[in-house]
């Protein structure tokens, strides 16, 4: 028989670990969003030279939209399953 106090400590530790994972995931998403928003002059120059600047900016907007869906889905479902999120919004649309 499991001691009730040990079970409570175990459940609390699991909750703390889960919250830490959630916080890490949110921080990672925030950093990734920052990296997408940050202008990359060299990349944009290459896109301009290869005559695909507008397409690059369009893809950038799609990626930003997708990242925000990850953030909102993660907040509402509190899950770390990227596979589930990708199935809900197929990545082929973003390629």
Which pLDDT tens digit goes with each residue over 30-49?
899 899 888 899 999 999 99
- Identify the domain containing residue 80 by its residue range: 4-94
* Neighbouring residues of 9: CB distance < 8 A, sequence distance ≥ 6: none
> What is the average pLDDT across 44-67?
94
pLDDT at 16: 63
- For Cα atoms 8, 10, 14, give the angle at the middle one, nearest 5 degrees: 115
State residue 48 phi and psi, 5-degree precision: -65, -45
pLDDT band at 90; cut points 50, 70, 90: very low
User: Would you say the pTM of this structure is higher than 0.95?
Assistant: no
- Is residue 57 over pLDDT 90? yes
* 85 neighbors 69 (Cβ within 8 angstroms): yes
In whole angstroms, give the CA distance from residue 1 to residue 14: 20
Give the number of domains in the chain. Answer: 1
Mean pLDDT of the chain: 76
> What is the average pLDDT across 61-80?
78
């Amino acid at each position: 028989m499991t001691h009730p106090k040990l079970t409570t400590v175990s459940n609390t530790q699991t909750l703390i670990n889960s919250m830490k994972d959630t916080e890490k995931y949110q921080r990672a998403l925030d950093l990734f969003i920052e990296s997408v928003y940050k202008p990359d002059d060299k990349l944009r120059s290459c896109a301009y030279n290869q005559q695909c600047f507008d397409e690059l900016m369009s893809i950038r907007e799609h990626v930003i939209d997708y990242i925000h869906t990850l953030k909102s889905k993660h907040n509402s479902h509190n899950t770390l399953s990227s596979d589930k999120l990708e199935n809900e919004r197929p990545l082929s649309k973003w390629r």
